[in-house]
Amino acid sequence: MNNYPHPIIAREGWPFLVGSLVIAVLLTWLTGGIPAFLAWIIALFVLQFFRDPGRAVPMDAGAVLSPADGRIVAVERVNDPYVQREAIKVSVFMNVFNVHSNRSPVEGTVQKVWYFPGKFVNADLAKASTENERNAVWLKTSAGADITSVQVAGLIARRILCYVKSGDALTRGQRYGFIRFGSRVDVYLPLDAKVKVSIGDKVSATTTILALLQPSV
């Protein structure tokens, strides 16, 4: 379980950042000109891609937080294929300029984790939820609500990282995974959850409330 204070740059990116900086410095020293300029552009891209800022956690009771930065591309009633139930799916699409660190949408206990190899079609497409490489985490809150958070690889993404296993306890907004280079996260909610976002909305991991869970009876 990798729960650590949020650094300025995600540790998943350190090898890429060091490598890109070394190449940029070498090209600047050896050749200069356009090759060096392009190398510095790539290094800056790597730097911005792997940024990992800390986030303030809303204290609203029953809040389901966005697990990722990005744009809402789906709010629909579907079958949750992992927990086998009718659910509301809220999907967040991350482009290459978003923060790609993933946070837990709720406080709860991990019931099960599934990994599925798959395709790498554009994560903005609906079929990405069922056809692309993905990793699903089923969480149960203390009130008994089931939340499924699914990391989905995208057209460029080639690595899903998930650091939790069955039995782990997560707090709201706790960092639990990372996806490299453009992707999507699907969140499956109980049918009685009150969704607070719409298609097209821009959201931020942890700070944006996707929905409010109904209090248990």
Enumerate the active-site residues: 183
Question: Three-state SS for 47?
Answer: helix
Q: Is 167 exposed, middle or buried (0-12, 13-18, 19+ CB in 10 A)?
A: exposed
* Closest to 124 measured CA to CA, from 51, 199, 58, 174: 199
User: What is the strand order of the sheet 159-162 is part of?
Assistant: 101-103, 175-180, 159-162
- Give CA–CA dist 189/191, Å, rounded: 6
Q: Are 67 and 205 in contact (CB under 8 A)?
A: yes
- Cβ-Cβ contacts under 8 Å for 21 (sequence gap 6 or more): 43
Map tokens 């206990």 to a residue: 109
- Give CA–CA dist 83/215, Å, rounded: 21
Question: Three-state SS for 210?
Answer: strand
